[in-house]
Amino acid sequence: MRSITWLSPHDAPEYFPPAEQALEEPAGLLAAGGDLSPQRLLAAYRRGIFPWYSPGQPVLWWSPDPRAVLFPEEFRCTRSLAKTLRNAGFTASLDRDFTQVIDGCAAPRAASPGTWITSEMRAAYLRLHQLGYAHSVEVWHRAALVGGLYGVRLGAVFFGESMFSRVRDASKVALAHLIGVCRRNAMVVIDCQLPSHHLASLGARSIPRRQFQALLAEHVSTAVIPLQEP
């Protein structure tokens, strides 16, 4: 049985094994340990690696193959979603309330009462937001936050982390707004990490990890560039 690399908080932030060493079972597991410092998180994203673990576990680092992605030009705005965007009374914003969005994503759900957004994860992404790397999309209805998403932007790549919806279609509205943000800011791909029927219905598809890493090599930058609303 193959083993994974264990990271120490004292290791250099860039110290990750090659993504090709990720396990087949559990699929994509690459390493464990380390910390959630901004430097380590940014080094991970640059390599197509992301943290995902449950409370009580060490930090687990993943690089699945294939990788689910959504190219903005392939976004599928269905007839029903277009009607919702026109007539349902939603408004969307960018980076208006990152804290509320990550808390909405962390809240228990009917299908999954637990959460992988631990207090340490929450603090880490709030710090990335303060540094200008993590961003949120908020969806409002009558001044109430009803949905949203957050993720990390590095150059022309948006790494989606989580979304939530308190009313029907609010997360789809958030994604539609993110597509507008990507187009306005010349971003070429949204990383969806793992495939899902919900995302596939909106145009996401899976590509080989090597193709995803080639996209990162061409389009990732750690310069902090303000995002503009669509």
Q: Of 26, 41, 64, which closes a domain?
A: 64
Among the candidates 19, 48, 64, a domain finishes at 64
Does 217 score more than 90 pLDDT? yes
Cβ atoms of 23 and 2 within 8 Å: the answer is yes
Q: Write down the pTM of the prediction.
A: 0.95
Residues 72 and 52 in one domain: no
Supply the CATH number for residue 75's domain. Answer: 3.40.630.70
Specify if 230 maps to a domain: no
Q: What is the pLDDT of residues 20-76, one digit of tens each?
A: 999 999 999 999 999 999 999 999 999 999 999 999 999 999 999 999 999 999 999
Are the CB atoms for 35 and 9 separated by under 8 Å?
yes
Predicted confidence at residue 1, as pLDDT, reads 53
Residues 78 and 29 in one domain: no
How far is Cα 163 from Cα 196, in angstroms, rounded to an integer? 13
Query: What are the b/e assignments for 90-108, b being 16+ CB within 10 Å?
Result: bebebbeebeebbebbbee
Domain span holding position 149? 68-219
Q: Which residue has the higher pLDDT, 1 or 128?
A: 128
Please state the domain count of the chain. 2
Residue 91 φ/ψ, nearest 5 degrees: -125, 150
Residue 160 backbone zone (phi > 0: left; psi -120 to 50: alpha; other: beta):
beta
CATH number (domain holding residue 51) = 3.30.70.3550
Count of C-beta atoms within a 10 Å radius of residue 192: 23
pLDDT of residue 185: 97
- Alpha carbons within 13 angstroms on the beta-carbon side of residue 148 total 29
